[in-house]
């Protein structure tokens, strides 16, 4: 137990340190006590638990629960109006304590995230960072869309693991968790599969709410259940607008429209106890009908059914915000201009009161030129939908982590002057670094991806390996493309990446070396080296063991045959 004089010295030390820097002389503590201010609430208590879990899983420091005990470091959590609604302030308190103040409960969560990311966990205990100051987010809609299908990570992992992962996401500044109820998988709400899905994800979203986060659904308004009658199905849309599992309906057929209304009534009721903050309407993949009454879909049928579904949403959740997606509107690859953007603009100029945000983005490097040149329809706030999971690699994440800071910096720089947030598309945990990059953009549009990646490495691994691991990330991005059309882009620098990762591992704590985040980095380096040396051939015991470990980390043993599961090598 350190003396009171020593603890008092800590306060003087912190106040003398430069804001935002980690000093070598920072003090390491063997125990920590978290104190909640008078604004205590269930959410704030849950957020306090997140802080305690993060510290104890990363180092040997103990959490002190005895109020009469003189713990080595007090961390005080409170809510005050100063930092802004979702902002936070970190400041020194009395007698060696630190205060984390949020404008609301989420602000406290984000302040904890900043505090944890500037700390160290490899000095024999908990070494708090010395960053002091105030910060507020620029973006208002900072969501993550968790794809919940095909037995990917979010469907297959133990629910406690998913709950912890959502907490981790929140620490980076996201404020909303979105999921999709995949109607195309079920015959209706009474389908046993639907009941299992609803039980799992109402629990997951309820936990997010209990941690102060917002939640929402992303749904295709023209989609029915898989047992819908054939005569109610859509007319196939032209061009390459991605998926169609056969359950999309023609919304101008009265019976189909009736089924859609009934479907949404039932679905929304399932989330009544949770409470929905956002509802995102989706046009294509799934979605769309090209009959004479619905087409052009984005300017006619889609808007008609979206307005009707919005009425249902607002009737049950009056304060729910509506996000209107324009995914795959007038794909340039289709060479089929069909008036969707012009029709949407005209409609929203007449009445945009039912929409809160326009969501836009595209596959790979594409972003709708109409928006860049003509502005946002209805002069509504713009949010994006970055693809952080599936780009350029097949199986997605099948080789380990897939960081791409240069790629996402380029995409963000095109729209950062307009966008007020967005919702990256996530199939699992292998794109964890990319989630952090996008969160940083949403918080501060002028932050650089490389700076965010350095912060990620320092937090998750160690500041001592930041330079080398940043080089590894750049090599990973250079060697990203593979698996599509026989692509094999791994070059000799994969050998250097593995050398750097191996050297870095010798500097890490046992907790880090065992963590899944480190393992997916290490395995990516190992797999790339092996594939380079084998000229792309997926063979050998080393690769088999690496792919098997990734499959276990992702809980992908029963994943769909679509490219979610890592490559499987037979003995």
Confidence at 466, pLDDT banded by 50, 70, 90: very high
Percent share of the chain, pLDDT over 90:
83
Run of H or E including 102: strand 98-102
Judged against a pLDDT cut of 90, whether residue 529 lies above it is answered with: yes
Q: Which pLDDT score, from 0 to 100, does residue 410 have? A: 97
Domain range list for the chain: 4-135, 210-385, 387-424+452-571
Dist. CA 149–CA 175, nearest whole Å: 22
Instruction: Summarize the chain as % helix, strand, coil (round to 5).
Output: 45, 15, 45
Q: Which pLDDT score, from 0 to 100, does residue 332 have? A: 53
Judged against a pLDDT cut of 60, whether residue 11 lies above it is answered with: no
Q: Which pLDDT score, from 0 to 100, does residue 10 have? A: 40
Judged against a pLDDT cut of 60, whether residue 99 lies above it is answered with: yes
Domain 210-385 has what CATH class?
alpha beta
Q: Which pLDDT score, from 0 to 100, does residue 562 have? A: 67
- Residue-wise pLDDT for 392-422, tens only, equals 999 999 999 999 999 999 999 999 999 999 9
- Residue-wise pLDDT for 46-71, tens only, equals 999 999 999 999 999 999 987 766 67
Superfamily for 4-135? Answer: Chitobiase/beta-hexosaminidase domain 2-like (3.30.379.10)
Q: Which pLDDT score, from 0 to 100, does residue 3 have? A: 39
pTM of the shown model: 0.94
Percent share of the chain, pLDDT over 70:
92
In the three-class reduction of DSSP (H, G, I as helix; E, B as strand; rest coil), residue 372 is classed as helix
Q: Which pLDDT score, from 0 to 100, does residue 242 have? A: 66
Q: Which pLDDT score, from 0 to 100, does residue 67 have? A: 72
- Sheet containing 73-79, strands listed edge to edge, beginning at the edge strand earlier in sequence: 62-63, 31-36, 73-79, 98-102, 88-92, 133-135
Cβ pair 150, 182 in contact under 8 A: no
- Residue-wise pLDDT for 475-524, tens only, equals 999 999 988 666 778 999 999 999 999 999 999 999 999 999 999 999 99
For residue 254, what are the contacts with CB-CB under 8 A and spacing of at least 6?
A: none
Dist. CA 430–CA 521, nearest whole Å: 9
Cβ pair 378, 345 in contact under 8 A: yes
Q: Which pLDDT score, from 0 to 100, does residue 25 have? A: 53
- Residue-wise pLDDT for 149-162, tens only, equals 889 999 999 999 99
Long-range pairs for 511-519: beta carbons < 8 A, 24 or more residues apart: 511/57, 511/58, 511/59, 511/121, 512/58, 512/121, 512/122, 512/460, 512/461, 512/462, 515/460, 516/429, 516/553, 517/432, 517/460, 517/461, 518/460, 518/461, 519/549, 519/553
Q: Which pLDDT score, from 0 to 100, does residue 363 have? A: 82
Q: Which pLDDT score, from 0 to 100, does residue 14 have? A: 38
Dist. CA 485–CA 20, nearest whole Å: 46
Q: What is the mean pLDDT of residues 230-245?
A: 84
Confidence at 17, pLDDT banded by 50, 70, 90: very low
Cβ pair 37, 54 in contact under 8 A: no
Q: Burial letters for 496-511: b for 16+ Cβ neighbours within 10 Å, e otherwise?
A: ebbebbeebbeebbee
Q: What is the mean pLDDT of residues 363-379?
A: 91
Run of H or E including 279: strand 278-281
Average pLDDT of the chain, as a whole number: 92
Q: Which pLDDT score, from 0 to 100, does residue 9 have? A: 38
Dist. CA 178–CA 19, nearest whole Å: 35
Confidence at 330, pLDDT banded by 50, 70, 90: confident
Measured between alpha carbons, how far is residue 144 from residues 313, 376, 541, 564 in Å?
20, 22, 36, 18
Judged against a pLDDT cut of 70, whether residue 561 lies above it is answered with: no
Dist. CA 126–CA 424, nearest whole Å: 32
């Amino acid at each position: 137990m350190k003396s009171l004089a020593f603890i008092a010295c800590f306060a003087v030390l912190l106040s003398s340190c430069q804001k935002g820097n980690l000093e070598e002389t920072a003090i390491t503590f063997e125990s920590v006590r978290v104190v909640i201010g008078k604004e205590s609430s269930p959410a704030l208590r849950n957020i306090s638990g997140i802080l305690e879990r993060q510290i104890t899983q990363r180092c040997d420091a103990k959490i002190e629960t005895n109020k009469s005990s003189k713990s080595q470091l007090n961390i005080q959590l409170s809510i005050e109006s100063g930092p802004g609604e979702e902002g936070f302030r970190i400041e020194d308190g009395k007698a060696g304590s630190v205060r984390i103040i949020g404008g609301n409960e989420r602000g406290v969560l984000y302040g904890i995230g900043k505090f944890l990311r500037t700390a160290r966990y490899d000095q024999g205990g908990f070494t708090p960072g010395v960053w002091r100051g105030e910060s507020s987010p620029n973006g208002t809609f900072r969501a993550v869309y968790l794809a919940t299908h095909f037995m990917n990570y979010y469907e297959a992992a133990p629910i406690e693991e998913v709950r912890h992962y959502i907490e981790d996401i929140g620490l980076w500044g996201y404020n909303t968790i979105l999921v999709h109820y995949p109607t195309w998988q079920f015959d209706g709400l009474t389908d046993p599969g639907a009941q299992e899905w609803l039980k799992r994800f109402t629990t997951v979203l309820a936990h997010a709410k209990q941690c102060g986060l917002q939640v929402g659904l992303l749904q295709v308004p023209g989609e029915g259940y898989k047992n819908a009658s054939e005569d109610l199905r859509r007319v196939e849309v032209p061009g390459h607008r991605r998926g169609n599992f056969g359950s999309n309906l023609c919304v101008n057929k009265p019976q189909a429209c009736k089924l859609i209304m009934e479907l949404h009534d039932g679905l929304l009721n399932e989330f009544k106890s949770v409470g929905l903050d956002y509802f995102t309407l989706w046009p294509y993949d799934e979605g769309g009908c090209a009959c004479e009454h619905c087409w052009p879909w984005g300017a006619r049928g889609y808007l008609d059914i979206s307005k009707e579904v919005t009425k249902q949403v607002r009737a049950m959740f009056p304060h729910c915000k509506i996000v209107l997606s324009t995914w795959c509107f007038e794909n340039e690859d289709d060479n089929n201009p069909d008036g969707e953007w012009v029709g949407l603009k005209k409609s929203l100029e007449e009445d945009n009161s039912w929409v809160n945000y326009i969501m836009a983005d595209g596959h790979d490097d594409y972003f709708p030129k109409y928006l860049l040149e003509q502005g946002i329809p209805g002069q509504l706030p713009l949010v994006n939908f970055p693809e952080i999971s599936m780009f350029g690699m097949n199986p997605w994440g099948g080789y380990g982590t897939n960081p791409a800071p240069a790629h996402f910096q380029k995409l963000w720089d095109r729209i950062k002057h307009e966008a007020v947030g967005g919702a990256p598309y996530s199939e699992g945990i292998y794109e964890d670094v990319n989630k952090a990059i996008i969160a940083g953009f949403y918080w501060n549009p002028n932050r650089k991806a490389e700076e965010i990646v350095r912060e990620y490495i320092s937090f998750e691994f160690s500041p001592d390996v930041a330079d080398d691991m940043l080089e590894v990330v750049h090599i990973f991005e250079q060697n990203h493309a593979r698996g599509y059309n026989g692509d094999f882009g791994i070059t000799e620098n994969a050998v250097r990446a593995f050398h750097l990762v191996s050297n870095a591992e010798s500097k890490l704590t046992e907790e880090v070396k065992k963590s899944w985040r480190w393992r997916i980095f290490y395995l990516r380096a190992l797999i790339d080296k092996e594939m380079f040396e084998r000229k792309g051939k997926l063979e050998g015991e080393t690769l088999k063991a690496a792919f098997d470990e990734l499959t276990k980390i992702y809980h992908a043993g029963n994943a769909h045959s679509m490219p979610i599961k890592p490559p499987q090598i037979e003995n």
